[in-house]
Structure 1
């Protein structure tokens, strides 16, 4: 206070002791909380780093196993990543590997695994990858409406080409070759750096398109 300058040293000491007596507990609590927040944050960061490292190790083992044999059973490792390390990108990446394996024999099971990625992955690239693959599964199953709905999501720039290609494939199945041509061309135009080699695949799809739309049997009968 302003009148402290008029107190004797003894009186100032007594006032200081009284202030500590009145405010000391709150001061100690504040210090403890502050230190707890600092050390708590450090512990959290360390814990997260350790989790990421553990998940990375399991994922690397998964990749090595599949590299050794495409038919290797990675279920145990993938399930462990899903249950213990779902918040890491390694879990979603491992699930994508498992879904690719399942797609060889069980499309519905593969679709379910891909949905896990969509529901749990934090990285948009992994989510888009899973959704594009889901669209391809529905296309392979002949569910063109579901495939088109999945492929019609607003993509990030890196996935514009992938979505456009799937929409082109759907249009081909529907006999809408003009639309297919537009989608394939959009896929070519949407290629980003690092995807240029895939332009040959898209160009081949464009070259194989019929020039005219397909004519249904009913339309042909009517014209006769």
Structure 2
């Protein structure tokens, strides 16, 4: 090997050592940051898993209490958030209704902080219960701004329950317009419109 080559290697080695000395703190910091990210990710995963198990246990407890007829079964879900909590509240409310405890079902649905994607389902189920328990005025306020067929139908039900037949017919007509012609619920909605004194027109005709 030529002397020049050795000098080049020596010079390159010195440059590497100098660079390492100059950047030692940066390198150590990068390694520590990488370890922190890995540890943090593992901790977060374990934390989420623990939370998931706790939530599942809470929701199972609420459902078991509802099935056993325990008072205030829905109180276990009060303030709970997320899709699991919402689905559990809907299940508990259904059990309570079947047991003839509509007021408890209303409290259950009001107590949970519904997942945004499931909020319309909770709102409409709650409105049904309010109408069935002579709280149609509350149901109307709850359904204010509803534009889908199910919401409009419930508004019609609430208006009819308060004696506002003409307004109920308007909501039923709007619901039919928003509903697919082949929808299974169409016949039920047509019967409601007729019971309210309305006329069922052909889907192709203007209402």
* TM-score normalised by length of structure 2: 0.68
1:182 is displaced (CA, Å) by: 1.7
RMSD between aligned alpha carbons?
A: 3.8
Q: Name structure 1 gaps, 5 residues minimum.
A: 1-6, 212-224
Query: Gaps (5+ residues) in structure 2?
Result: 1-6, 199-207
Q: How many residues align?
A: 189
Q: Which residue of 2 aligns with 1:170?
A: 158
Q: Is the 8 A contact 1:58 1:77 kept in 2?
A: no
Counterpart selection for 2:196 from 184, 209, 215: 209
Q: Tell me: CA distance 1:29–1:38, structure 2 relative to 1, closer, same or farther (3 Å).
A: same
Counterpart of 1:97? 91
In structure 1, the residue matched to 2:119 is 127
Distance (whole Å) between structure 2 residues aligned to residue 192 and residue 154 of structure 1:
17
- Equivalent residues in 2 for 1:69-218, closer than 5 Å: 71-73=67-69, 82=77, 89-103=83-97, 104-107=100-103, 109-117=104-112, 119=113, 121-124=114-117, 126-154=118-146, 160-191=148-179, 196-210=183-197
Mapped partners of 2:146, 2:195: distance in 1: 27
CA-CA distance at 1:168 after TM superposition = 0.3
Instruction: Give the drift of 1:46.
Output: 7.1
1:13-35 CA-to-partner distances (Å, cap 9, x unmatched) read 22322321232232232233235
Shift of 1:150: 0.5
Change (3 A) 1:96 1:180: same
CA distance in 1, matches of 2:72, 2:158: 35
Given that 2:75 and 2:108 are in contact with CA atoms closer than 8 Å, whether structure 1 keeps it comes out as no
Are 1:24 and 2:24 an aligned pair?
yes
- Residues 71 and 101, structure 1, Cα contact 8 Å, conserved in 2: yes
CA contact (8 A) 1:55 1:88 kept: no
1:142 counterpart SS class: coil
Query: How much does 1:99 deviate?
Result: 1.4
**Structure 1 length as normaliser, TM-score?**
0.63
- Decide which moves more: 182-191 or 31-40: 31-40
